[in-house]
Amino acid sequence: MDAESVVTVLCGLAIVVGVIGTIIPVLPGSVLIGLSLLAWALWGGAGAVGWIAFGIGAVFVLAGMASSTVLTGRKLKQHRIPNRSILAGVVLGIVGMFVLPVVGLFLGFAVGLFLNELLRTRKFRGAIKTSAAALKATGLGMLAEFTLACLAASTWVVGVWIAVIAA
């Protein structure tokens, strides 16, 4: 197996990890996809096809990161959920990740968010309502980033096929 094939396989594996990382925040996500596309363009031996795939994929990656941030932030502001509540969710999510592998991250985030909202609003129903809104906003942002990460990965796959056919 030549060096260009090794680079292609490693970049493909990194892109898969990146796509999964958009759903499981512990893993690197969109940034890893962008770096993998760049590495393939530089060392994958695909020439112009590699650079075109990188350019298109980078647009998808940047759009995914931006849409995730904008969609989530807008919904959180709309429901007047402070950053402190999100931070509490993140902290308990990290703790939960070690206590309950696989589901602990998501469960810890939800519990931390709810507890902080309960302390802030002093109303159980209000805390449930704002926590649900925050979880929906976070999920919507993750879905947007995941979709665009899949499009970036698909761009790479098409680029690999074109490079193989052209070789």
Per DSSP, 69 falls in state: H
Burial of 137 (C-beta count, 10 Å sphere; 0-12/13-18/19+) = buried
Q: Give residue-wise pLDDT tens across range 24-42.
A: 877 789 999 999 999 999 9
The pLDDT confidence band at residue 6, using thresholds 50, 70 and 90, is: very high
Alpha carbons 68 and 139: distance in angstroms, whole number? 9
CA distance 135 to 98: 21
Can you give the length of the chain in residues? 167
Using one digit for the tens of pLDDT, what is the confidence trace for 63-105? Answer: 999 998 898 888 888 888 888 998 999 899 889 989 988 788 8
Nearest to 138, CA basis, from 86, 99, 98: 86
Non-local CB neighbours of 77 within 8 Å, separated by 6+ positions: none
More confident of the two residues 1 and 51? 51
Give residue limits of the domains in the chain: 3-166
